Structure 1
Amino acid sequence: MAPSFSVTLASLLLLTTTLFSTTTIALAPARGQLATIPSWKVQSSAKVGNDAAKLSSQNVDTSGWYTIGSKATLMSTLLENKVYTESDLFYSNNFEKVDYAPYQVPWFYRAEIKLKSTAGSHFQLKTHGISSRADLYLNGELIAEKNVQAGAYGGLTYDITSKVKSGKNVLLARAFPTDYNRDFALGFVDWNPYPPDNGTGVWRDVEIKETGPVSMSLPRVTTKLDGDVSVKLDVKSYEDGSVQGEVICTITGPDGKELGKSREEFKLANKSQQKLSLDTKIPNPQPWWPKQWGAQPLYSTTCTASTSFGPSDSTPKIRFGIRTITSTLNTHNDTAFSINNKPFQVLGAGYTSDIFLRFNEQKLRAQFHYMLDMGLNTVRLEGKQEHPRLYEIADELGLMVMTGWECCDKWEGWSYNDEGSGEKWMNVDYGIANVSMRHEAEMMQHHPSLLTFLVGSDFWPDDRAVQIYVDALKAFDWQTPIIASASQRGFPTLLGNGGMKMDGPYDWVPPNYWYADQLGAAFGFGSELGAGVGTPTLSSLKKFLSPADQDDLWEQPKKGLYHMSTNVSSFYTREIYNDALWKRYGAPTSLPDYLLKAQMMDYEATRTQFEAYASRWTGVARPATGLIYWMLNNAWPSLHWNLFDYYLHPAGSYFGTKVGSRIEHVAFDYITSSVYLINRSLSASGARTIDIEVLAPNGTVLQKSSTKTDTMPNSSKKLDKVPGVDKIKDIAFLKLVLREGKGATGEGKVLSRNVYWLSAKKDVLNWDASTWYYTPVSSYADYSGLSKLEKAKVDVKATGSTVVLENTSKVPAVFISLSLVDGAGEDIVPVMWEDNYVTLWPGEKLELSVQYATGGYGGAKVQVTGKNVDAQTVSLG
């Protein structure tokens, strides 16, 4: 029987399934009041008919309808109402048994709203995204039909004053079936199976606002490092005659103290609109920085609009940061970003929404904390713009956000799209794209975490669409770079070359791939690339794979796997990955043996990718200006493309990334056998020492030396070749330790500790046979000797938030992994280890800290395993 996800993660993720007994809400009479529809009744037109006017009238019996919160697609609605359970739906191949037919007809979302209409009141209905088309009705009258309320990002404001009644009002949305090739939606390409409903439904909040004769848009904030701040907004009249008044905007500092007010008068003719700009000079401005470079002070502004009749509208509090972002194309046509005039190397990963577009703030926050713990500074959203809270959390945490439209469906239905995905655009589509871009621009504009917007992904938009996108962004006072696309296949004249490459890989390649000078190797800006790794641990696999599925992983290495990509994808099997695992590490003898070897493969793959890009940031002919790892997370339980699994359990790919992305670090070049010194900080400098040691499997030291050097902020440099590597006969271990100062071995604060396992036989790539997703290997490194290691004994002591490991044997203790579990043996997540999957030299002691949410977990224990270490469990007292 499949384990229950809700039981396993309830205490962490707070996944609520509360059902509301009523959908009636009441708005306070204060002008400027904005309220989100808190709940909906949902039902299929196949059950209740298709008479929208009737269904949006009073006294409709909805006792047989489903009840949801403020937003939910059809599938997430059914999950909330226990028609499906996630643990069963995601288990083995159960998902492919879901009937798609119920989602091929329109579904209705119905809410009862209590409004109080007074003299001079005006009401607006605000949508932020209904996938992908909807008819909107209020009290039996049509507000907008599906060709107006169109596109998953189609956010519009409707004046509903004439249709509002004092007392109960009925709002109805008829959501039409979504088609990724036909509609502007949120698709998943080959990342995972398509959701049966294709994300249809009210997936973002719907709001109602009451104002006086004028309303205001959301404020847009532009800043300069010297403290010049402009708050820009639009005021709109709903009256037939002229209206005049005043807007006042208040600026508040990070400490909550008011810094000043600015005022601007307006005079509006019949139902017209006017743009206002209110300027303020902030004293002693505090710049906003990415987390690894500094603090994230957030200022805020609120605005009120008044006429001779009194207050008319107010805006929600908008938080913003003082920072500048620019991008340039270097001489190699590679995009390079700067933040606050400091060159900024992007090290990030690609994010995906939940497969059913469910939004869980606690889980998102945990994922972003994981990113920062790994040393990443940027998240890329490819057509998964999510909700305002995502950007607010990124602002708070100091994580940069690359956002933009997605590939491989209607968004890129261009005649020059040789992938053939997406229906070609018609005239009406340009209007939908315009509305979509304007809505997203308004939502994102003031967030300091915004790095850029990519108006194309695999392909650039045509000239007409590009002009629409650029005009829309400029209309909303966009301050960050606009990039044409994430690839080098072409570009529009208006924006020029996007300066990013999309040459793969997406499947496994050996570590030395990244230090070459071809395709996706460490030069330029790689917009999405990775070795296709991210193998979940056994504890996670048991949640979504049957015992037979688990056996297939190691007994059927070429078999198509349902929890990989779609069955027509190049990534439906782990064949490329498994071929390398078998030939490099030896045929697995059991599932645990396979998974241990997989974690070693994943660790070396991600570590080297991030190390290579970080090491070639400066001091090379063609700098590596950015890297987006494919991918950060999964939309559902998956066997690849992640840095932590669906259940938030970090494993090999996570800790390889964490080592490779350290702020100060020393890395090994698999091609030249040289050492790179990496400094990703803005302030660290001075003397450094690198201790180098090569160790044979029997514990014999083959080479030991130290290198004295100096480091500079925000830089990297190549140092000498590692001595002793040429002495390796079979396999050996290389330890690089970076310390402050230039003292003797063991002196000075340790900044980075890094252990490699190396083979006398090298991986040889067949570059001429490369495809868009990987480069074949003609000859593999040989790590089979790792399975012949002598047993090592490791003493483990755990107390509070610290685990101490000591190798008391005369041979290295290799690839020691630590897992935190509760008293029942279930994984405690999220969890952040100082380091993990570590290798200890004979007699070496290592102290590691661990952070986790202690609430709800009793009897926490540490499970310890390793390549040549017996498993043991100790209590974390």
Structure 2
Amino acid sequence: MTEYALNDDWEMSSSAEAEAVWHPCDLPATVLGVLAERGVVPDPFVGTNLRELPGQGPPAQNFSNHPMPEDSPFAVPWRFRRTFRVPADAGPYLRLRFDGVNYRAKVWLNGERLGDELVGAYRVFELDVTRVADREGDNELYVELTAPTPCDLAITWVDWNPSPPDKNMGIWRDVWLVDSGPVALRAPFVTSRIAAAADGGPAKLTIEGDLVNLSDEPQVAVVHAQIAELPGRAVRQVFELAPREERAFALRAEEHEALVVERPRLWWPRFMGSPELYGLQLDVTVGDNGHGVVSDRDGFQFGIREVTSRLTERGHARYEVNGKPLLVRGAGWAPDLLLRRERVRDAMQLQYVKAMNLNCIRFEGMLERAEVLEWCDREGILVIAGWCCCDCWEKWDKWGEANFTIAAESLRSQVRRVRRHPSMLAWWYGSDFPPPPRVERAYLDVLAEERWPNAWQSSAANKPTELTGPSGLKMEGPYEYVPPGYWLEDTARGGAFGFATEISPGAAIPPLASIEQMVGKDHLWPIDHVWSFHAGGQEFHTVMRFVDALTARYGEVAGVEELARWSQVVTYEGQRAMFEAYTRNKYGATGVIQWMLNNSWPSMIWHLFDWYLRPGGGYFGTQKACEPLHVMYAYDDRSVVVTNQWAVGFHGLTVRVRVVDLDADGVAQPAMVPEQLVRNVTVDADGKTVVLTLPPPEHAVRFVDLRLTDAAGREVSRNLYWLPREADVVDYAQASWLHAPTAKHADLSALRRLPVTSLAVRAVRAGDIRATLTNISDRLAFFVELRLVDATGADVLPVLWSNNYVTLLPGDVVSVHVSAPSGRVLPPDLHLELRGLNVPRLRVPITQDAAAEPAEGRQAGGVPAMPLDEHPGPASAIGHEQTARMVTSIIDESLVRAPWAHARRC
């Protein structure tokens, strides 16, 4: 089989136009996406442009549950067309494959209608065009699309963000011309059964898939299999097919000794081991008793691994890989709002996942393309997928008979598409609610028929079903702000127990540069309707719960710049506390999915990095909390704990604890707790060790500085906390799925009165950039943000930081590493810009001279650094008027289709 991509050189127009205007486009494409790209409508992502487009639904509501206005330009069919030529070497049987249309599509080729209407956003359709296709000249392909209605199983944005007025109508996935001989090979995959995985026991492989006889004659087909890493162990098996028959096939280790791998290289998730992959080549031959011509072929990489799920004694779902328990630490993925294919953006977002030390991403209804899954396979990042909530997918009482068929066939299409990937952990076929018995039975039948090899749950919520009982998962919130201590205190909802499928410490107001790009200079301050439009929908249409908590804990903010800076403090401590709590409590806690990883458009809520790929406090708090070997402070009992996600234990570790107390004026007080050095600490593989317990704070604010060094004296973890004398008091009696309100906020306002200090900084470039920050003063430097900027002061994005938002005690030295993704070269003429909450802004040129000596207030090389303001208070936003510089040359080769995919353009 060869797949010829038909994604380029399309045109699109509205059926309502008397004289059609055809807009050039490439696929994937939605109608609004094309109009925005061609400049027909203003950029929907800026200000309230999206709200002002014609055809919008009710404000702050889930548009998927509302009909389109009758006068909407998207209430009529839209048309896509292109021409193509059949390659001269194409096989005798031809099919057109549509990987995703939204929502209804009629297809014509060379003026002939192809089959029935295609219905369903998540279904994959193959249309036989062997007879219709012109092998000598141009082929005219024409597709007419209509948007989904409220009763359709389509794409929804829930309350994440506003919905586009076209409801994502379009061809939102790839279109292919697929060739083969008379017998086609479909959706092959490999499953494993591993004996004594921990001891390297043998693995028994089964190669499975489907064979389709496209001809009107009986066929004898031979399936040939060869694993690249096991040369000389080819496997072949004969299958007979009746005319037009489709049947499953399986090559099993019980019949083929070559499929028994004695000492397999197992595929492991991140930190549990290496994600080892094998390459499989499959050929199907027909004729001459199995020695005839190749009718079809496929090749892909697979992993030898087993995934299981079980309920713990307390009824919580716990996943295991190769017999080993797994603590899931992940976040919810959001694609582009207009469903555009953006390989550079996706490559960077995936590398951010890895840089934050996460091991999982969740696709709730937003099921990504094969290249994304292949990257996860290679990097050991797990994937949980399933249907979305809050629209017709969970309004089963409104389903007609067609919905039942579309739901089952949608699941079948997606299972076939993703089951070969070792990164796939589980499928959740319900989201907020489990399906009723008839629907669940249909889903279970599909999973059985398609030999789903991984775990599944009936929903993401703690709601049992008649057929399968409890899911073992929980979805009890919160989604809005809670204080850091909540996660280790709460025992009823989102606290660190069980498996939380979507929770969050709330809004995530990004750095100032992103706010400016998002709302525009005229709406920076005060917070207004444009801010709300870039929050969420329904209950989440405002950021004021977050802002109110920030000002109650840290004091009033004087403007947008102060709000942006202090928001990073709040999101850093919030995300760190959540992930650390679940890590400390494993395996009473079995998993946590942060809601969300990213946003579909520029947003003020629910992200670890913003739309502009600018990491903020939540990103670096997550990166810190999810270090595989980590030292942390527990808010509930004041203990210092070493946690370990690696599959090996560590001995001879040393934990250093330093405490700095501040009075209400921000002045350091004599240490009430002496420095402590605990040697010879041991932590087991995938374990944790309590090192010591600290006394309660006696002053307004306590800084707790933790350092972990290995047996060779190398620092492997550094963590610092700022703690109030009196902790926050949460009103658990009023807690709900939304949040747990704070009855009394902690007072950390003394941090605003920290005395000003400065740092010595050196930045050296040798391919990547290494910066050294030294606090040579007798004052603490709090929450120092580093930015990599170009000559205009604009951020260079995207980049990978080893650390950021750092706090330095007197005498501290911190090293920070900055690199371009995928080993690409950073652009020239860069500066490092830094500013702390009590450190004036400083811009430092980056030198190639690694021997340059830093001095206080001086850049590398001894030349006075460029001060950007006189004090650490509100200041002008240097360079923020510039659009962030995107290094568009950065493309991750791992997102390019593998050579065995046999894909070509047509």
Q: Does 1:456 align with 2:413?
A: no
The CA deviation at 1:212 is 2.2
The CA deviation at 1:126 is 1.6
Q: Does 1:649 align with 2:614?
A: yes
- The match for 1:194 is 163
Give SS of 1:599's match: helix
Cα separation, 1, equivalents of 2:113 and 2:464: 42
Aligned residue type for 2:51 = E
- The match for 1:427 is 401
Q: Does 1:761 align with 2:726?
A: yes
TM (norm. structure 2) is 0.85
Cα deviation digits, residues 622-659 of structure 1 (max 9, x gap): x1100000100000000111000101111101111111
The CA deviation at 1:120 is 9.0
Using CA pairs below 8 Å that are at least 6 residues apart, which structure has the higher relative contact order? 2
Cα deviation digits, residues 326-355 of structure 1 (max 9, x gap): 111112111001111111000000011110
Cα separation, 2, equivalents of 1:368 and 1:684: 28
- The match for 1:294 is 273
Alignment equivalent of 2:128, drawn from 159, 167, 192: 159
Aligned 1:743-822 pairs, distance under 5 A: 748-800=713-765, 801-822=769-790
Q: Does 1:527 align with 2:496?
A: no
Q: Does 1:77 align with 2:18?
A: no
Cα deviation digits, residues 774-802 of structure 1 (max 9, x gap): 01111110111111111112111111121
Change (3 A) 1:869 1:119: closer
Aligned 1:354-503 pairs, distance under 5 A: 354-415=336-397, 424-488=398-462, 490-503=463-476
CA contact (8 A) 1:482 1:495 kept: no
The CA deviation at 1:118 is 11
Q: Percent identity?
A: 32
- The match for 1:285 is 264
Cα deviation digits, residues 576-616 of structure 1 (max 9, x gap): 11111111111112322222211111111001011101011
Aligned residue type for 1:66 = H
CA contact (8 A) 1:264 1:276 kept: no
| Unaligned 5+ runs, structure 1 | 1-31, 50-61, 416-423, 742-746
Change (3 A) 1:595 1:265: same
Cα separation, 1, equivalents of 2:636 and 2:221: 70
Cα deviation digits, residues 383-420 of structure 1 (max 9, x gap): 000211111111112110011100001111134xxxxx
The CA deviation at 1:532 is 1.3
Cα separation, 1, equivalents of 2:743 and 2:218: 77
Cα deviation digits, residues 523-582 of structure 1 (max 9, x gap): 1100000111322111222212222321124xx6x996110013xx11111121111111
CA contact (8 A) 2:28 2:339 kept: no
Cα separation, 2, equivalents of 1:91 and 1:82: 13
Tell me which moved more, 279-288 or 783-792: 279-288
Change (3 A) 1:846 1:115: closer
Cα separation, 1, equivalents of 2:807 and 2:531: 34
CA contact (8 A) 1:36 1:70 kept: no
Give SS of 2:774's match: strand
Aligned residue type for 1:499 = G
Change (3 A) 1:571 1:119: closer
Tell me which moved more, 223-232 or 188-197: 223-232
Cα deviation digits, residues 447-485 of structure 1 (max 9, x gap): 010010000000111222222222222222211101110
Cα separation, 1, equivalents of 2:233 and 2:101: 39
Aligned 1:536-551 pairs, distance under 5 A: 536-551=510-525
Alignment equivalent of 1:846, drawn from 814, 822, 828: 814
Alignment equivalent of 1:269, drawn from 223, 226, 242: 242
Change (3 A) 1:48 1:33: farther
Aligned 1:190-269 pairs, distance under 5 A: 190-225=159-194, 226-253=202-229, 258=231, 260-269=233-242
Cα separation, 2, equivalents of 1:171 and 1:767: 60
TM (norm. structure 1) is 0.88
Cα separation, 1, equivalents of 2:540 and 2:758: 40
CA contact (8 A) 1:220 1:476 kept: no
Cα deviation digits, residues 238-266 of structure 1 (max 9, x gap): 2223222322122223xxx7463211112
- The match for 1:613 is 582
- The match for 1:6 is none
Aligned residue type for 1:509 = V
The CA RMSD measured in Å over matched residues stands at 2.1
Give SS of 2:743's match: strand
- The match for 2:859 is none
- The match for 2:887 is none
- The match for 1:419 is none
CA contact (8 A) 1:124 1:158 kept: yes
Alignment equivalent of 2:99, drawn from 118, 125, 128: 128
- The match for 2:792 is 824
- The match for 2:6 is 37
Cα separation, 2, equivalents of 1:856 and 1:658: 22
Cα separation, 1, equivalents of 2:15 and 2:116: 16
- The match for 2:547 is 578
Q: Does 1:593 align with 2:562?
A: yes
The CA deviation at 1:108 is 1.1
CA contact (8 A) 2:512 2:565 kept: no
Change (3 A) 1:121 1:600: same
CA contact (8 A) 1:616 1:716 kept: no
Cα separation, 2, equivalents of 1:635 and 1:287: 35
Cα separation, 2, equivalents of 1:793 and 1:233: 64
Cα separation, 2, equivalents of 1:630 and 1:817: 24
- The match for 1:732 is 702
Give SS of 2:599's match: coil
CA contact (8 A) 2:533 2:541 kept: yes
Aligned residue type for 2:12 = V
CA contact (8 A) 1:120 1:213 kept: no
Aligned residue type for 1:462 = P
Cα deviation digits, residues 430-455 of structure 1 (max 9, x gap): 11112111111111011010010000
Aligned residue type for 1:132 = Y
- The match for 1:19 is none
Cα separation, 2, equivalents of 1:121 and 1:659: 56
Q: Does 1:715 align with 2:687?
A: yes
| Unaligned 5+ runs, structure 2 | 56-71, 195-201, 253-258, 848-906
Cα separation, 2, equivalents of 1:721 and 1:855: 46
Give SS of 2:839's match: coil
The CA deviation at 1:103 is 1.1
Number of equivalent positions: 800
The CA deviation at 1:96 is 0.8
Give SS of 2:539's match: coil
The CA deviation at 1:671 is 2.4
Aligned 1:84-99 pairs, distance under 5 A: 84=41, 88-99=43-54
Aligned residue type for 1:268 = L
The CA deviation at 1:719 is 4.4
Give SS of 2:178's match: strand
Cα separation, 1, equivalents of 2:516 and 2:345: 21
Alignment equivalent of 1:663, drawn from 622, 628, 633: 628
The CA deviation at 1:702 is 2.8
Cα separation, 2, equivalents of 1:666 and 1:701: 21
The CA deviation at 1:664 is 1.3
Cα separation, 2, equivalents of 1:857 and 1:442: 42
Q: Does 1:702 align with 2:672?
A: yes
Cα separation, 2, equivalents of 1:38 and 1:347: 36
Q: Does 1:68 align with 2:16?
A: no
Tell me which moved more, 453-462 or 312-321: 312-321
Cα separation, 1, equivalents of 2:23 and 2:126: 27
Change (3 A) 1:105 1:840: same
Change (3 A) 1:827 1:560: closer
Give SS of 2:470's match: coil
